[in-house]
């Protein structure tokens, strides 16, 4: 886990989690643009962040989106209009609701996985600042996976590549994912976890029960790591005073 101690925000409801995390994203974006002229953010996929993206769109006026560059932490190897596409989820929840469009670096889920991974490696090389992402948003799977870095996968030990394609046996599908070095290099990581179905994995992470380190515990970010967890997901861990 992180060298700097992770900050834990336990929120009383999913709505409070989205409100708090949206405010954090917007303030990090304002700070990055003020200090460096741009804001490079990797988006999480899955279902948890959808409500956050809608809230960011509702509060879009608080950020100069013309200076924002959006990346994807991972993508399913499907076309961009497929129901499982993370890009489609982001387009519907955020991009279609923005008046000013950010630069969007989409992972080409429609291409052959290895080709799409190579393409995205080049996209990162050409567009990411030398010191990496300003912010990476991550969700957490019930098995402790982050992005598409799944337990037992060789992708967790790869320190050479920034983007990999991986066949996920448990899902019988190909995925594209940023690797741990990219997430670790980010100035800031935000993990968003909501719902009772995540209570056990949160307990494993925070009570150190994990016999083998979960993918999320393989993170060693150079920057700050903040957890935004709602009360249902935090039900099995001691609540901060």
- Site for ligand 6PG, rule CB under 6 A: 44-48, 73-74, 86, 139-141, 145-147
Do the bridges between strand 135-138 and strand 188-193 make them parallel or antiparallel, or are there none, so unpaired? Answer: parallel
State the number of CA atoms in the 13 A half-sphere of 196 facing the CB. 0
**Closest CB to ligand 6PG: residue number:** 139
Report CA-CA distances (Å) from 153 to 167, 168, 224. Answer: 9, 8, 25
| Least distance from ligand 6PG to the Cβ atom of residue 36, Å | 26
| Least distance from ligand 6PG to the Cβ atom of residue 49, Å | 7
| Least distance from ligand 6PG to the Cβ atom of residue 50, Å | 8
| Least distance from ligand 6PG to the Cβ atom of residue 26, Å | 21
Report CA-CA distances (Å) from 178 to 9, 42, 52, 147, 231. Answer: 25, 9, 21, 7, 29
Q: Which is nearer to ligand 6PG, 45 or 102 (CB)?
A: 45
| Least distance from ligand 6PG to the Cβ atom of residue 224, Å | 19
Report CA-CA distances (Å) from 138 to 47, 110, 184. Answer: 11, 23, 12
Q: 46 and 147 in contact (C-beta within 8 Å)?
A: no
């Amino acid at each position: 886990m992180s060298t700097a101690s992770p900050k834990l925000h336990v929120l009383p409801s999913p709505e409070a989690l989205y409100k708090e995390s949206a405010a954090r994203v917007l303030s990090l974006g304002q700070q990055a643009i003020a200090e460096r002229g741009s804001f490079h953010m990797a988006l999480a996929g899955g279902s948890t962040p959808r409500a956050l993206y809608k809230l960011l769109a509702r509060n879009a006026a608080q950020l100069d989106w013309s200076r924002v560059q959006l990346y994807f932490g991972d993508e399913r190897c499907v076309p961009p209009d497929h129901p499982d596409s993370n890009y489609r989820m982001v387009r519907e929840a955020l991009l279609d609701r923005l008046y000013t469009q950010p630069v969007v670096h989409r992972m080409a889920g429609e291409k052959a996985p290895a080709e799409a991974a190579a393409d995205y490696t080049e996209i990162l090389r050409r567009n990411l600042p030398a010191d990496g992402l300003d912010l990476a948003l991550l969700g957490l799977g019930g098995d402790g996976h982050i992005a598409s870095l799944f337990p037992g996968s060789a992708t967790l030990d790869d320190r050479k590549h920034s983007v990999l394609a991986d066949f996920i046996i448990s899902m019988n599908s190909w995925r594209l994912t940023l690797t741990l070095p990219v997430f670790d290099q980010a100035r800031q990581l935000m993990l968003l976890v909501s719902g009772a179905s995540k209570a056990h994995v949160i307990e494993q992470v925070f009570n150190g029960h994990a016999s083998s380190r979960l993918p999320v515990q393989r993170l060693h970010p150079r920057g700050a790591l903040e957890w935004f967890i709602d009360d249902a997901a935090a039900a099995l861990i001691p609540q901060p005073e």
